[in-house]
Amino acid sequence: MSQVDQKQAEPVTPSASKGQLKLILLVLMVDLLGFTLVVPLLPRYADLAGFSPTRIGMLMSAYPFCQLFAGPILGRLSDRFGRKPILLASQIGTMISFLILAITKQFELMLLARMLDGASGGNILVVQAYVADVTQPKDRARSFGLIGMIFGLGFIMGPILGGILTEIDLGPNGLRVPFLAAAMFSMTAGMIVALKLPESRPPGSNIGTQARVVGLEGVRKVLHDPCLGMLVLASALLIMGWSSLEGTFSLYLKRRMSFSSAQASLGFAFLGFVGAFAQGFLIRRLVKRFGEKRLIKVGMMALIVGFLCLSQVDMVALLLPSLVIVGLGQGMSNPSLTGLISRTAPAHIQGAVFGTLTSAQTMGRMINYFWANQLLGKFGEAAPFYSGALILVVALIAVRIGINRMGDELDESPRGA
């Protein structure tokens, strides 16, 4: 065995583990900056290219569609060949996809780029597996919480940077500068992986992955559970309803508020800030006082009210309060529901539960990216929010059924639900 192999095979010390955790989180942050640069601007970019609502919906749906299948595959490949080579390959694929978007307005090539990005972007499961490799079991909840924090920061910083970059005029290609910047972020993340990030799995390791990889047997067990199955359904519907905003917000701001690309990016950043504030500062205190069950219901009702408000507003003075309601609703309901699902699931099927949950949420997002853009194109800016509110009503019903089946044994709040 070479000296390098001997070094990799040695047990990871706490200091080495901490260093690896910082590096993988840095990779994730840089990667997310590229992703969040692109997402708010893609519908507007496609609209400027003259694409129909159907084609815009296809572009938005291509990413989650490919991610749905690629995530588990990348997770398993990382078990066999190591985390580092799979992370590096995924960064290269994402970089190429952003470069394609920057240089073309041909629909077929843009669709191919989004599919490539979706297949490459499934690396979040590999990141989760890497974090699990370098973290002691007792510290994993905190480490996965840091991943959530990185996502929150990315969805604030990326849109702000995207808004600034849209002001750079490169002629007929319009919004291509943010896509070039996103490619540079992916390239930077890839260089960090290649040059700095050590492999987390020693050669010959047979330790099972901690990534949330889903199999058919795991799906069957989760969905046949009368409580867990209903809560997973509710979570998928929650994300599906949320994607009514996520997939159409840029065009909504353009058509309803006459926002520029830079202003639309700032709108995304404001929404991300409200959500991050709710998840980073409010949720812990609110859960302790009111319990997850009550927060889920209140958060979903706030989302419904916020969506109905967004369907009617036509001025910034009314837009901002509506976004506060929506951001707080999402910030309360989504993490509370995920936490409740985690506490409800037995320890030996946590991986199956979260694999099923991730796949169900991705499926919901994929379907509604397409559907919401169809509604916007045919019936106007309010239609996606009416549809999203209706989906959220169904999600709220599913939550109530799941909680009723659960009983009160998991309710740790002093005041109940």
CATH number at residue 259: 1.20.1250.20
Cα-based angle 179, 177, 124 (whole degrees, multiple of 5): 25
Specify if 334 maps to a domain. Answer: yes
Q: Which two tokens stand for residue 328?
A: 């707080």
The predicted-structure confidence for 214-225, as pLDDT tens digits, reads as follows 556 666 777 778
One domain for residues 100 and 37: yes
- Of residues 269, 267, 271, 243, the one with CA closest to residue 256: 267
Whole-angstrom Cα Rg for the chain:
21
Choosing from 165, 199, 233, the residue where a domain stops is 199
How far apart (Å, rounded) are the C-alpha atoms in residues 14 and 207?
19
Report the distance separating Cα 336 and Cα 72, nearest Å: 25
The total domain count for the chain is 2
State the residue range of the domain holding 119: 14-199
Give 367: exposed, middle or buried? Use CB within 10 Å, 0-12, 13-18, 19+: middle
Domain check: are 112 and 229 in the same one? no
Written as one string, the DSSP assignment of 31-79 is HHHHHHHHTTTHHHHHHHTT--HHHHHHHHHHHHHHHHHHHHHHHHHHH
Instruction: Decide if 250 contacts 264 (C-beta within 8 A).
Output: yes
Sign of CA dihedral 287, 293, 296, 298: negative
Q: Which helix (H) or strand (E) holds 282?
A: none
Residue 105 is assigned to a structural domain of this protein: yes
Residue 242 sits in the same domain as residue 195: no
Domain membership of residue 150 (yes or no) is yes
Alpha helices for 134-291 (secondary structure H): 140-165, 176-195, 216-224, 226-246, 249-257, 261-277, 283-290
157 and 292 part of one domain = no
Where is the domain boundary, 199, 226, 259? 199
Question: 229 and 350 share a domain?
Answer: yes
- Return the structure tokens found at 153: 């920061």
Question: Is 204 a member of any domain?
Answer: no
Tell me whether residue 21 is in a domain: yes
Do 116 and 231 fall into the same domain?
no
pTM for this model (two decimals): 0.80
Give the pLDDT of the chain (417 residues) as one tens digit per residue: 334 343 343 444 555 577 888 888 898 888 888 888 888 888 988 888 889 999 999 999 999 998 888 877 777 788 788 889 989 999 999 999 999 998 888 999 999 999 999 888 667 778 877 887 787 766 665 676 677 778 878 888 888 888 888 877 665 555 688 899 999 999 999 999 999 988 877 665 544 444 455 556 666 777 778 888 899 999 999 999 999 999 899 999 999 999 988 888 888 889 888 888 887 778 778 877 888 888 899 999 999 999 999 999 989 999 999 999 999 999 888 888 888 887 787 766 666 677 778 788 889 999 999 999 999 999 999 999 999 999 999 999 999 999 888 765 455 443 333
Q: Would you give the distance in Å from CA 417 to the centre of its chain?
A: 28
117's CB contacts (< 8 A; 6+ apart) are 63, 66, 93, 94, 97, 98
pLDDT in tens, 164-184: 888 776 655 556 888 999 999
